[in-house]
Amino acid sequence: MPEARLGALPDGIYGVELERRIEAAAQAVAARLESETLPQAQLAIVLGSGLGGVVDLLDREPRVHIPYREIPHVPSATVAGHVGELVAGSLGAIGALVLSGRAHPYEGYSQREVTILLRACLQLGVRTVVLTNAAGGLNPEFDPGEVMLIDDVINLSGENPLLGPNLDALGPRFPAMADAFDPQLRASARDAAKRVDLALREGVYIMLSGPYYETRAEMRMLRLLGGDAVGMSTVPEVFVARHAGARVLGFSLITNKATDDVEAGATHEEVLEMGRIGGERLVRLLAELLPELA
């Protein structure tokens, strides 16, 4: 379909324009890294609310910090708990790009916009993507502070970043999502959890658009649909990573109960506080796991 007729894409960021923005972001990051003695980036890690401590898993030197505002066409992260910078470094011989914080569609961006940076990282050679988020626990057996290995997703956000003309240079028109999360990576995560004595939950993550925490009726509905955790991010990143043929692994840090018997709804302050507490567990797991993922 000619791009001029795509009235359902009012942001104007699709097709040739989207490809141009991804290329510009990739070139800007590459230019900042070209003088550094870093290995080729193979791994990208996207950090959710309150999980900035994962950056400290990188080797101390060299590290390159690039604020999102200095990368063209990349929206800044404005929500508390999201630093908003790309940190390039290494895990031994493995080159890694850590996206410390993310912009969300509910901040006024399209899903195409919020995934430009990850797509730029994929264009720079990343082949394995680790996604993390803070999420409400729909499964009544899950407690705040626990870590859930994501085994599948349900997209109820009302959008997806692959809408519009396909970027053939990045991936196929109809990417398969039946095994969106790599089985071998999930097996490695389970093994790493055992080695660090971490009880690892597993389940389905559902994305809603936000920006509000779920009503009681929505909590009941989402649980009936098969959801174990719910949040407002991550799924667009899954789609663009799989579109590019990268392997994907995902974790949700359960920060609050999202069951309809809770006395009161969650607050962002409570989510951040539980993120700080439970985030230590996820960092411990990732410290054991990440060096194996290249």
Amino acid 37: pLDDT: 82
8 Å CB contact between 155 and 244? no
Amino acid 265: pLDDT: 60
Contacts of 167 (CB under 8 A, 6+ apart): 15, 18, 19, 22
* pLDDT digits 0-9 by tens, 202-253: 999 999 999 999 999 999 999 999 999 999 999 999 999 999 999 999 999 9
pLDDT top residue among 36 and 58:
58
Angle separating helix axes 268-289 and 183-195, nearest 10 degrees: 90
Amino acid 205: pLDDT: 98
Q: Which of 234, 255, 244 is nearest to 104 (CA)?
A: 234
> Would you place residue 7 in the very low, low, confident or very high pLDDT band (cuts 50, 70, 90)?
low
Instruction: Give the chain's mean pLDDT.
Output: 90
Q: What is the 3-state composition of the chain as percent helix, strand, coil, each rounded to the nearest 5?
A: 35, 20, 45
pTM, two decimals, is 0.93
Residue 94 has pLDDT above 50, yes or no: yes
Q: Which of 270, 251, 8 is nearest to 131 (CA)?
A: 251
Amino acid 289: pLDDT: 95
Contacts of 290 (CB under 8 A, 6+ apart): 43, 45, 57, 91, 94, 96, 130
Dist CA 212 CA 125 (whole Å): 36
Q: Which of 128, 147, 100, 144 is nearest to 284 (CA)?
A: 147
Mean pLDDT calculated for residue range 30-34? 93
Amino acid 2: pLDDT: 44
> Would you place residue 61 in the very low, low, confident or very high pLDDT band (cuts 50, 70, 90)?
confident
> Would you place residue 1 in the very low, low, confident or very high pLDDT band (cuts 50, 70, 90)?
very low
Catalytic residue IDs = 49, 82, 104, 106-107, 134, 232-233, 256, 268
Q: Are strands 94-100 and 200-207 parallel, antiparallel or unpaired?
A: unpaired
Contacts of 203 (CB under 8 A, 6+ apart): 139, 142, 148, 149, 150, 151, 227, 228, 229
- Percent of the chain surpassing pLDDT 90: 72
Element spanning 42, H or E: strand 41-47
As a CATH number, domain 3-292 is: 3.40.50.1580
Q: Are strands 94-100 and 41-47 parallel, antiparallel or unpaired?
A: parallel
